[in-house]
Chains A and B, each alone.
Chain A
Amino acid sequence: MPVYFLRRVLAAIPVMLVVAVFVFLLLRLTPGDPAAVLAGDMATPEQLEQIRASLGLNDPLYVQFLRWMGDLLRGDFGTSLISNQPVLDLVADRMWPTIWIALITITLSVIVAVPMGVVAAWKHRSWIDHLVMTFSVLGFSIPVFVIGYLLIKLFALDLGLLPVQGYVAPSEDLPGFAARAVLPALTLASIYIALIARMTRASLLDVLGEDYVRTARAKGLAERRVLFRHALRNAAVPVMTVIGTGFALLISGVVVTESVYNIPGLGRLTVDSIFARDYPVIQALILLTSGIYVLVNLAIDLSYSFLDPRIRY
């Protein structure tokens, strides 16, 4: 196991390198010009050229790439072309809101969705099953921003229970943090609850059809024990996969929720940086998210062998 672990961590390095090259090229090939963003609407072509030169954007691509790589090796992530702030400071500022919201969302989703899926599979084709499925389908057939607006209208404006928007760090004001985190987490969770509940139900139904489960049943084991001892454990592998991919999606996909609830997180930083063609920030963000992604999935792959003893590494 430790050897496997080490190999996987080492394997992450070429992945990150591929990501780095890919992102670098993708950005440079995408039309857009940070100089134009910097200079504003009234800039003349000549002024644009001056700014481009001073940002080093006129150098050949390979020179720009090597410069970036060299800086990275020295631990220098560069400086935002637009705001002139160190990229690391920007990212450090913005990562905590996103991480907190993502953690709350994942926890909430698993707590709600797994029991939903279990009940639906257990009472397969009953009205409970249909209810759970209908609810979970609704969860991902409405665009996130509409769900967000609906929740804001209901809980913040009509009932006046929660703030409409914003973020405070939990270290500054925990109740304030909680009050502001509820709605965004609920909004995001609506998708993941739907996804995880469906996956739990589907894989559980699969496992319930397996011979050993039928044997357990035939042996007269209580239905609940069959469900939890034998079935759920085996059904957990695909469910974990969905949770793992979901986590990565969350980190990158919170942008709409962050806009609707005005949370200063990584999602918005990413999209703002893309629209502004702020190359160093986008590059650093992608490396960061890909790093997180690799780690989360390593953890999940390792959990397979724990959950399903038939899988060994």
Chain B
Amino acid sequence: MAENTMRAAFPLSTRALFSRIGIAPLLAGLVLILIILAAVCAPLVAPHDPIYQNPIQRLKPPSAEYLLGTDNYGRDLLSRVIWGARVSLLIGLGVTVMAVVIGLAIGLVSGFFRLADAVIMRIMDGLMAMPSVLLAIAIVSLMGASIWTVMAAITIPEIPRVVRLVRSIVLSAREEPYVEAAISMGTSLPRVLWRHLMPNTFAPLTVQATYVCASAILTEAILSFLGAGVSTETPTWGNIMAEARIYFRLKPELIFWPGLALSMCILSINLLGDWARDVLDPRMGKRES
């Protein structure tokens, strides 16, 4: 019934889109595109300079001039949230790409070659054994608190997690008959890794990647909370919230709006991740049919 109504209500292309992708991922994509647009066009969209302070206007409630009100320096919250999208997305995506690419490569090698495995896993153990917060604070204070050092500081502790995950999957998968067969047939090693082992990692890795992305944006907030984050002259969703934390009970909107932006963004990334897995992993399709 619903199918038919849809068919009638939408022209062919849109209908196809809906039925093939589903509403949730579409909405998620829309939200993410909006956020990315806001991030890219921040100078055009934001009504005020996000770092211009006006002490007389501090902690003002929402008004026509300041749609979401102002923070404790009299800076426009809306503009800060819009500009914050830039840096937060950059940190989230940057960290994810770096962690996944590096982690996948190391993990595949480690899971497949026993010899390399011993060495690599000891190094990864060593790396993971360091409290990530310590590592981040140390790196940030060593090199100064710029966006890039914060990104590096968040990426390094993420890598071993990706490696361990990939490795555990490869350990399972390489015992599979088709992998053993491929090896015995003399398929070259890179090909075995690429064609037979890597696809197995897609599903869990997509989940892990969305988690890494979310956690990177959040870790940045925690570094700000601890006093080792990006300078408040460069607004991020995380440092807006961290800076406003003492106003949690007096002016919760200072935390609510960046928090909402953050949650919507991460929710969308996750929904898209789930959808991507369903599409990418052929076995999913088999099960559904």
Give A contacts to B, CB under 8 Å: 11-12, 14-16, 18-19, 22-23, 26-27, 29-32, 130, 133-134, 137-138, 140-146, 149, 153, 195, 198-199, 202-203, 205-206, 208-210, 214, 237-238, 241-242, 244-245, 248-249, 251-253, 255-256, 259, 267, 270-271, 274-275, 282, 285-286, 289-291, 293-294, 297, 304, 308, 310-311
Contact = CB atoms under 8 A, between A and B. Distances in A.
Contact of A15 (B122, B161, B172, B259): B122
Contacts, number: 179
27 contacts: A11-B118, A15-B122, A26-B138, A29-B142, A30-B141, A130-B24, A137-B270, A141-B262, A143-B222, A143-B242, A145-B242, A145-B245, A146-B241, A146-B245, A146-B248, A195-B211, A198-B207, A206-B281, A209-B283, A209-B287, A242-B165, A252-B130, A252-B134, A253-B131, A259-B225, A274-B138, A286-B129
Contacts of B137: 271, 274-275
Contact of B126 (A19, A26, A203): A19
B211 A18 contact: no
Among B131, B221, B226, the one with the most A-chain Cβ atoms within 10 Å of its Cβ is: B131
Contacts of A311: 171-172, 175
Contacts of A138: 263, 267
B204 interface: yes
Contacts of B125: 12, 15, 290, 293-294, 297
A271 B133 contact: yes
B20 interface: no
A293 B132 CA distance: 12
Interface in B233-278: 238, 241-242, 245, 248-249, 255, 259, 262-263, 265-267, 270, 274, 277
A286 B134 contact: yes
Contact of A202 (B128, B267, B277, B287): B277
A249 to B, nearest CB: 7
B108 interface: no
B203 A205 contact: yes
B289 to A, nearest CB: 11
B187 interface: no
Given A245-B128, A308-B172, A141 B245 contact: no
Contact of B218 (A16, A143, A210, A251): A143
Given A140-B218, A141-B265, 19 more contacts: A11-B122, A23-B130, A31-B141, A31-B142, A141-B218, A141-B267, A144-B222, A146-B241, A146-B255, A209-B281, A209-B284, A237-B172, A238-B165, A241-B165, A270-B134, A282-B134, A289-B131, A293-B128, A304-B171
A226 to B, nearest CB: 12
B232 interface: no
B84 to A, nearest CB: 13
Interface residues of B, number: 60
A141 B203 contact: no
Contact of A140 (B172, B211, B222): B211
A31 B142 CA distance: 6
Secondary structure of the A side of the interface? Answer: helix
Nearest to A23: B130
B133 A270 contact: yes
Interface in B48-101: none
A62 to B, nearest CB: 20
Interface of B: 24, 118, 122-123, 125-126, 128-135, 137-138, 141-142, 160-161, 164-165, 168-169, 171-172, 175, 203-204, 207, 211, 214-215, 218, 221-222, 225-227, 238, 241-242, 245, 248-249, 255, 259, 262-263, 265-267, 270, 274, 277, 281, 283-284, 286-287
A10 to B, nearest CB: 11
B226 A255 contact: yes
A286 B164 contact: no
Contact of B286 (A18, A203, A209, A270): A209
B225 A252 contact: no
Contacts of B175: 310-311
Among A31, A134, A206, the one with the most B-chain Cβ atoms within 10 Å of its Cβ is: A206
Contacts of B281: 206, 209
A255 B133 contact: yes
A133 B255 contact: no
B286 to A, nearest CB: 6
A32 B141 contact: yes
Nearest to B249: A153
Contacts of A205: 203, 284, 287
Among A11, A29, A133, A198, the one with the most B-chain Cβ atoms within 10 Å of its Cβ is: A198
A241 B164 contact: yes
B68 to A, nearest CB: 17
A206 B215 CA distance: 24
A22 B138 CA distance: 12
Contacts of A297: 125
A143 B274 CA distance: 22
B15 to A, nearest CB: 20
A33 B62 CA distance: 45
A31 B145 CA distance: 13
A274 B137 CA distance: 8
A256 B136 CA distance: 14
Given A30-B138, A252-B133, A149 B245 contact: yes
A310 B287 CA distance: 23
B267 A134 contact: yes
Nearest to B214: A140
Nearest to A277: B141
